[in-house]
Structure 1
Amino acid sequence: MDHSPDFMKLVADAKTRVRECKIAEVRERQARGENFHLVDVREDSEWQAGHIPGARHIGKGVIERDIEQAIPERAAPIVLYCGGGYRSALAADSLQKMGYTAVVSMDGGMRGWREAGYAEQRP
């Protein structure tokens, strides 16, 4: 997908403030049984088409509204992902501004997860 230059500027700016992780790191954390919140910020239709096992869905359009109810602990480890790593970076930036201190954006998103051959789940 081609993204507009202004959108890419927003993403690049957000990425200067957020931590990112690799897809393999998330899979390794899952394999170790590590306790963290895995949050899919994609649209409802994307979630329905398949998502990472163990993830919960809080779309980017509502995450700022719903995060405090879903994950009230501001220091809780959270990994956000989207389709490719752009929307999750924007969402991570917003959550950090809200006081969440352990938020990470998964670079490569669901597309990279699928390319790596990792399992996915459908509702």
Structure 2
Amino acid sequence: MFRIARSIPASAVRLAATASRPTLTRYFSQTAPSQSLFTDYVDKVRPAIKEITARELNGQLTKEPFNPPADLHVLDVREPYEWNEFHLPNAIYTGRGTLEGKIESLVPNTEDSIVVYCASGYRSILAADALKNMGYKKVYSLKGGISAWKGAGLPVSQNPNVVL
């Protein structure tokens, strides 16, 4: 047990004790700060991943309205609360943390096309990289994520139980 000398105010001891702890900033569904280890890593992985724009994906999904292509799978890799607020029409939810374990049951054919998306396109780049490394041949990340989709004025599906 430490003994504090009476000449040092207790507030100074508390301040000194907390000053040595690093500050932890958490980012949920937000674009990570530039020049971070995370964005540096994503930037390193990005060139190996094909990206598809919101307009391109929408064109593929709406070639035949009411009958999206059977060999095109759109996977949402965001957090459950993000999915519950809104998501792309006809998307399948699989969180980023369970993607590798669930993918074979969701998309058994490694020749099918897969588009993964998140909020802004960072997590989906990493998810696409994992799927590519697992042997899936036609994997794409939605450039800019669902933010770009909504920014293009394209429709989203909303959970009727969530009030935004």
TM-score, normalised to structure 1's length? 0.95
Equivalent pairs, count = 123
Q: Which residue of 2 aligns with 1:96?
A: 132
User: By how many angstroms is 1:14 displaced?
Assistant: 1.5
User: By how many angstroms is 1:117 displaced?
Assistant: 1.2
Q: Show CA shifts across 1:29-83 (max 9, x none).
A: 1111351101111010000010010101011111011101111111111111110
Out of 27, 30, 39, which is 2:58 matched to?
27
Larger radius of gyration: 2
Q: Which residue of 2 aligns with 1:117?
A: 153
Q: Which residue of 1 aligns with 2:32?
A: 3
- 83-92 or 10-19, which deviates more: 10-19
Distance (whole Å) between structure 2 residues aligned to residue 16 and residue 118 of structure 1: 26
Mark the runs of 5 or more structure 2 residues left unpaired by the alignment.
1-29, 160-164
Distance (whole Å) between structure 2 residues aligned to residue 3 and residue 103 of structure 1: 23
User: By how many angstroms is 1:2 displaced?
Assistant: 4.9
Preserved CA contact (<8 Å) 2:31 2:120: no
User: By how many angstroms is 1:16 displaced?
Assistant: 1.8
RMSD: 1.2
SS at match of 1:42: coil
Relative contact order, higher structure (CA 8 A, sep 6+): 1
Is structure 2 residue 111 aligned with structure 1 residue 79?
no
Q: Which residue of 1 aligns with 2:105?
A: 69
Mark the runs of 5 or more structure 1 residues left unpaired by the alignment.
none
Q: Which residue of 1 aligns with 2:75?
A: 39
Q: Show CA shifts across 1:79-123 (max 9, x none).
A: 111101110000000000000000000101111111111111123
Distance (whole Å) between structure 1 residues aligned to residue 41 and residue 48 of structure 2: 12
Letter in 2 for 1:14: V
Out of 13, 16, 23, which is 2:47 matched to?
16
Distance 1:122 1:2, change over 3 A: closer
Superposition misfits of 4+ residues, deviation over 4 angstroms: none
